[in-house]
Structure 1
């Protein structure tokens, strides 16, 4: 077979699945540089790299007359010099296209694309124990949001138009494109138009303002964000399917996950209560502006703030917040406890959740001062001072002292963003009813007929939906099992325990079980959560030791005692290495907002 004929056959093997075609070379076979080669040229001819053979072996390699069967073995055979050159060329390509390792501003390293250790032992591409299917052929280092935006949260923080605060630095959540899709796909009452994520993102990247930067400076095209398939799914989002296509991800079945240990606790608190910074009403704008500028709202606002208790009560009244706090503290009815706040729109992987220490007056005590609840009432409305909200909570929450007028968080007066001077707080439900700067509690008879009817609450903007509905009427984030503080492709050390951690929550439902998968959801390892309190965030920990080098993906999901199961799962990727690279061997990032993709950075180096 001539050299050109050999190249043609090898090229067909590459195009048709690396050996999937009958008669082709083993999986992953490549071709040396030359005419018709798909490989980038690094020299005129691929040269063997310091291979030493005896004269007798060289004769066998040259195919000289007299060669016998006994002289041929796996180390020496006719044409071995050509294969040596092929391996050398493939090694050079693998080195040139080694997955990029970045050092983040916090000093941690990430490798977004797996190294292909040990793929198909015995196949050609494993000769150097690494190869470049992921990076050379799939161009994975230059695909997905992370190729340009090392931290999507940083992108939103620094965009020209302020974005709602969906990041949470206190718990170190990592924003993903799935969260962006969820919100921009279906959010009636919040988004002007639904199912607009694709429209928005294509306009952002290919519109007049950014198309030159995206296309020319960053080499962006459709393949940067999408995966074109023959599976009938059309143009998939690369970030949502990449782990199904990348080589080199180690799978561990549940029966082999023997060294992992699970634990959970609910006492850890954050410095601040998470807050979506909507700007719907003028009080929203006041809070947001004062919070951004760290303006301390005056004590006089607290001292003069009035709270009214009216509606179906025996003796409606109005009193200043200052006097109510003094009286409640004197009576010893003030409650201090750890409690959670979580947004109904907090998607899987999101940061819209916190545990904090709250100090507040039971609303039941305020209502008793008004003569108690009268017949016919079915709930209590929390009325915001600017009239922008009048959501309600159930009498069950009132009677259980799970509804509080909160005036301190973590022992300090509320900040502007938290609703100074006071906010309504209802435990075990989403934050829709956590009305900031509340000035009235109205005992009413027109509240939701069933506060557990999430659909009714969502459609009527009343009560707490306790989750977010998609266009099919399904709650997609109850329960929500999320991994925290694992940037995409985090580099960890082989043989050393690593603490995966995060939270799991289900609003008003109790988490009963968490499950973990290290093989893409084929098998699961389950852990029972006993006596988890639905009024506080469950912080979970899974300590695990990577057994060998390579990429590993962890997927998490959960179940509630009431029977709800995760509709969306959260997956993170880590890369375990025997020896961590030196920082100077990596791409050191000074910012995580917008960075040059790997190929562009290499060209500019």
Structure 2
């Protein structure tokens, strides 16, 4: 596949952000190759130095005077079939062992010939976006998805253009690093490597727009699908499927080697409760556990930068020391309304004390096992209903209690995936919740020998502190929807759904998913963006 031979080159040379992508386009290469002996140019009829007919249509006189020739020479049925055959989509095996076909096949070869779909998008050049991040010349925090799904540009947009308004804009970093890179130019890269121009003349990301541009899908109306949907809020994520995010500083060996857990780190680790308190406290974890005991709860962990349909989310059974009890023991001063837990790397965010319910804890165990180093051993803070980047700091060493007169300083909106003050209503374009996605298969997955056999897709729906009210699914491009109601859902847990579907024909299918939630004003909150997912059945 084209993507495979390009990925090794660009991953080593391109200094890119999380998007990392702008795939290499082929038009420049194709033009130069056509001029070579034996190339496409030899099949063309040149008239006065210009390209004329290559199918035998007369080049003399007016075109309209020779229309009687059309019935003999202008039949494209065989050509279209041949073009489709010669432009079959490529297939490859991803790092998780799944067979992937990123582009649907179609009867004319339109997707490959005219959309140039195989040479566009992040992963036509980069093996993974994680590779692209790790190959940058400066340190960039890294997210690795635990579920076998592809991390896409949606996460990059969430961080650079949405969740952190002060961050470097993605467009600035990506355009500069690619257009100033000789390799990108040598590979024929251009604007269309990463973009599509929509009906309004705007440049939009190819990896977001492509699903609605592809031809060749098998479309199935909701009433004819035979699909069944169900959900629960109890499903637990296995340890190996929990996403990982590096700490603020470069990771040390002890923070990432999950095979080695040094018990002396736990025994000697201290947490300081300080700030606006009358009884400042510094205790070791064993002392805290002895004094306050432990509680256990099932909680979701949803990353702030989890873009539309992405997989940076999981749910676990966690055991830890009740955080509310620890802070109350330190006796916050009257009027104190904020707390900031910080890790040993200095990372931490200011939160309202009102967030601290019975499920907020200093986590020591996950799914019945000692908290892994990659997840924050020996201790991490978890707060129910929160967002991971703000309220789930790892390697916690201190908690500062503060008094804030300005409510805008209490950083509440990361729970909603956007970093804006409470008094600010965020632009809908930067709101990526309610969110939903597939977790058990990557987009583009190929199912062999599966016609007439049931496939079960599993995934999540979540809206941080807004309860999910329903999830909808479409197999006909959004014309009709299968609806799953989710009344009285618990905001501390995800909605884990399953869709059972039996495809009746071989081919590629486009699955759209959208979740709805209930806003704080009681009104229904519709998603700004719909998740797009593709699979192919043979």
- TM-score for both structures, normalised by structure 2: 0.75
* 314, 320, 324: which one aligns with 1:360: 320
2:176 counterpart SS class: helix
| CA apart distance, 1:160 | 5.4
Structure 2 distance, partners of 1:136, 1:387, is: 51
* 414, 431, 447: which one aligns with 1:465: 414
Moved over 6 A (4+): 36-41, 78-81
Larger Rg: 1
Once the two structures are superposed, residues 20-51 of structure 1 have per-residue CA deviations (whole angstroms, 9 ceiling, x without a partner) of xxxxxxxxxxxxx774799999xx99xxxxxx
2:223 counterpart SS class: helix
The answer to whether structure 1 residue 517 and structure 2 residue 466 are counterparts is: no
Residue 181 (structure 2) aligns with = 208
| CA apart distance, 1:502 | 1.6
Residue 350 (structure 2) aligns with = 391
Structure 1 distance, partners of 2:95, 2:342, is: 44
| CA apart distance, 1:490 | 2.1
Contact 2:352/2:410 (8 A) holds in 1:
no
Residue 212 (structure 2) aligns with = 244
* 104, 110, 114: which one aligns with 2:104: 114
Contact 1:383/1:391 (8 A) holds in 2:
no
Alpha-carbon RMSD across the aligned residues, in angstroms, is: 3.7
Structure 2 distance, partners of 1:480, 1:403, is: 23
Residue 581 (structure 1) aligns with = none
Once the two structures are superposed, residues 104-148 of structure 1 have per-residue CA deviations (whole angstroms, 9 ceiling, x without a partner) of 4554333222222xxxxxxxxxxxxx3222222333233333333
Residue 166 (structure 1) aligns with = 143
Alpha carbons of structure 1 residues 316 and 515: separation in structure 2 relative to 1, 3 Å: same
Structure 1 distance, partners of 2:260, 2:516, is: 42
Once the two structures are superposed, residues 236-293 of structure 1 have per-residue CA deviations (whole angstroms, 9 ceiling, x without a partner) of 43333233333212332333333333333432223165343242xxxx44x5443345
1:420 counterpart SS class: coil
Residue 534 (structure 1) aligns with = 491
Structure 2 distance, partners of 1:212, 1:447, is: 53
| CA apart distance, 1:315 | 4.5
Residue 8 (structure 1) aligns with = none
Q: How does 1:4-403 map to 2 (within 5 A)?
A: 35=45, 82=72, 87-104=77-94, 106-116=96-106, 130-149=107-126, 151-157=128-134, 161-168=138-145, 170-188=146-164, 191=167, 193-194=168-169, 196-197=170-171, 199-215=172-188, 220-228=189-197, 231-271=199-239, 274-279=243-248, 284-285=249-250, 287-292=251-256, 296=260, 298-309=262-273, 315-328=279-292, 333-367=293-327, 369-370=329-330, 375-384=334-343, 388-389=347-348, 391-395=350-354, 397-398=355-356, 400-403=357-360
Structure 2 distance, partners of 1:295, 1:105, is: 22
Unpaired runs of 5+ residues, structure 2, are 1-42, 57-67, 421-425
| CA apart distance, 1:496 | 1.7
- TM-score for both structures, normalised by structure 1: 0.68
Unpaired runs of 5+ residues, structure 1, are 1-32, 46-77, 117-129, 450-455, 578-605
347-356 vs 551-560, greater mean Cα deviation: 347-356
| CA apart distance, 1:573 | 1.4
* 509, 514, 538: which one aligns with 1:557: 514
| CA apart distance, 1:481 | 0.9
Once the two structures are superposed, residues 148-190 of structure 1 have per-residue CA deviations (whole angstroms, 9 ceiling, x without a partner) of 335434444555555422331x222312223333333345466
1:557 counterpart SS class: strand
Alpha carbons of structure 1 residues 181 and 356: separation in structure 2 relative to 1, 3 Å: same
1:250 counterpart SS class: coil
Contact 1:430/1:464 (8 A) holds in 2:
no
